[in-house]
Amino acid sequence: MDMHALEPRSVWTHFFTICSIPHPSHYEKALGTELLSWAHARGIHAVMDSAGNVIMKKPASAGKEGARGVILQAHLDMVPQAMTGSAHDFTRDPIRPRLDPVNSGWLVATGTTLGSDNGIGVAMAMAILEDDTLAHGPLECLFTTNEEDGMDGARAIEQGPLTGELLLNLDGEDDAELTIGCAGAIRTAAVLARPAQVVPQQFAWFEASVSGLLGGHSGVDIDKGRANATLALVGLLAKSREPLSLASISGGTAANAIPREARALIGLAMDRVNAFQNEFHSEATALRIALGDRDPGFTASLEPQTAEASPRQALAPADTEALFAVLGALPNGLVAMEPDMPGLIRTSLNLGRLSGSVAAGQFKLDTLVMVRSSSDTEKEGLGATVEKRLAGAADHGWSVSQSRPSVTPAWTPNSASPLLAETKTVYRELFGKDPRVTSTHGGLETGLFRPRFPAWDMISIGPNIRYPHSPDERVEIASVARSYRFVRELLTRL
């Protein structure tokens, strides 16, 4: 199979162009500018707002002027995750797509996330805009920024620029599903600080690390029992009976991705090294057995550091112990399932990003936690629990400051939606079976749109995407063709 001969050709051509332009969260400007140039060259009305969102408009086809306006919506940014040891710079280097060497029916990237979430949605919308053979009503496209790290673009959308009544969110990840609801979310950022101390010269230093984990999307994969690399490493170190001094620690890159690897620089007295190594490896073996097939690549290691690489300052052992206790007390992973919807996650938590080191005599730790829930009450309750436990570090002499960079409401399903009814009919006629109507534990921008645009009738659809937010991300080629056919047919009927 020739990757550059994939069908529908227009969709894949646009997607490969998107891959060639770096566009991680917060760095979508170049891609947005390219979309503006593309639209203007084809006589399509297009503007970029102050948040970097791109809005395009195309008049109705002849005879469809009286149809309800449709908004096709997708986001411009992607989650930047690379394989261990990769030097890929997501702000400068293009994504390199390739056919999956094991199953050529799927497209993957070379050592990184692919960005089919949500580049395929953007590409489908662009292909529809340039197709003058398609009969449709008034058509608008909304391409938003920073969906993956706060939904800033969606928050900036105002009344006025968009006049459509029906919104098709193209951020779905299963072509057999019609999504009509999503979880809400709270992102809690915390900064913990404590004076460091000068460490004894006769200390031994190790880089402790956890790697090889599957990670994944903190919404759709959080119920799979996979380890959080950061918390796994903290747990291994916390179980040591030896006094440890922490000089630095890091794990994870995004609130909505389960950390796949973590590392820490740890020091201790030389006469305690053998006992520490034995404890660490024993606990790592036990954790590997406990994880089993849920995370078969789990690896934990201790690498001795040279004297030249040894730090001069670190946390005192008592402060290290207190920090590990605070982090270990955080709830994590799956919290509750929906009692009336088998298989649907209700509430979860992910410690997505953590980074700590010594500067100017202070050890400073930055954390980013994401709480998700379809229940706003549970979301607020769990968010408060997280913040209370992080604040508990103050009882051990740490200074603590916290904020909520973003709070997103849940999108409550509306099973009586006229758009849902029409979409189900079209799906059934095209594919000879009923779609699954569902809600997702992942976050969608529709959750932000609902309270501000209550008249919009919304649904989310998309092709089969697996392992999003990880370097194993892949999109099924045949599914892209099915999804594009579905969207085209739906537009002719609305």
Evaluate the CA torsion angle 422, 414, 217, 407 in order and state its sign.
Answer: positive
Burial class (CB in 10 A: 0-12, 13-18, 19+), 344: middle
How far is Cα 107 from Cα 114, in angstroms, rounded to an integer?
A: 8
Distances (CA, A) of 111 to 81, 89, 96, 303: 9, 12, 8, 25
Active site residue 147: yes
pLDDT confidence of 202, banded at 50, 70, 90?
A: confident
Separation between Cα atoms, residue 310 and residue 205, nearest integer Å: 6
| Cα first-last separation, the chain | 35
Radius of gyration of the chain (CA): 24
> What is the pLDDT confidence band of residue 487, given thresholds at 50, 70 and 90?
very high
Tokens 């537009």 found at: 491
When pLDDT is averaged across residues 444-465 and rounded to a whole number, the result is 96
Buried b (16+ CB within 10 A) or exposed e, 262-285: bbbbbbbbeebbeebbebbeebbe
- pLDDT for the residue numbered 18: 99
Q: Which of 217, 194, 58, 43 is nearest to 147 (CA)?
A: 217
> Which of 20, 29, 21 has the alpha carbon at shortest distance from 146?
29
Provide the pLDDT for residue 224.
Answer: 95
Q: Per-residue pLDDT for 190 more than 90?
A: yes
Token pair belonging to 207: 């880089």
Mean pLDDT of 341-354: 93
Assigned token pair, 452: 């501000």
Q: Is residue 378 annotated as a catalytic residue, yes or no?
A: no
Check pLDDT > 80 for residue 379. Answer: yes
Inter-residue contact 397 to 319 (CB < 8 Å): yes
Question: How many other C-beta atoms can be found within 10 angstroms of the C-beta atom of residue 157?
Answer: 21
Torsion of the alpha carbons at 76, 81, 87 and 88, rounded to the nearest 10: -20
Q: Which amino acid is residue 472, in one-letter code? A: D
Give the active site residue among 147, 174, 295, 319.
147
This prediction has a pTM of: 0.86
Cβ pair 213, 262 in contact under 8 A: no
- On average, the pLDDT of the chain sits at 96
Q: Note the pLDDT of residue 233.
A: 99
| Domains and their CATH numbers in the chain | 3-183+410-493 (3.40.630.10), 185-408 (3.30.70.360)
Predicted confidence (pLDDT) at residue 95 exceeds the cutoff of 80: yes
Instruction: Report, as an integer, the average pLDDT of 176-204.
Output: 95
Res. 25 pLDDT band, cuts 50 70 90: very high
| Beta-bridge partners for 51 | none
pLDDT, average across residues 336-361: 93
Single-letter amino acid code for the residue at 372: R
Tens of pLDDT, residue by residue over 242-298, are 999 999 999 998 999 999 999 999 999 999 999 999 999 999 999 999 999 999 999
Contact call for residues 134 and 61 (beta carbons, < 8 A): yes
Cα angle: 15, vertex 179, 152; to 5 degrees: 60
- Tell me: pLDDT of 1 over 80: no
Q: pLDDT tens, 149-167?
A: 889 999 999 878 899 999 9
Looking at residue 188, its pLDDT comes to 97
Task: Please tell me the number of Cα atoms within 13 Å of 439 on its side-chain side.
Answer: 25
Q: How far is CA 391 from CA 29, 351, 403, 428, in A?
A: 37, 15, 12, 52
What pLDDT, in 10s, does the model give residues 220-249? Answer: 899 999 999 999 999 999 999 999 999 999
Signed CA dihedral, 154, 156, 161, 165: sign only: positive
Give the active site residue among 28, 77, 152, 221: 77
CA 460, 462, 466, 472 torsion: positive or negative? negative
Percent of the chain residues past pLDDT 90, beyond the cut: 93
Structure tokens at 347: 């509430």
pLDDT tens digit sequence for 312-335: 999 999 999 999 999 999 999 999
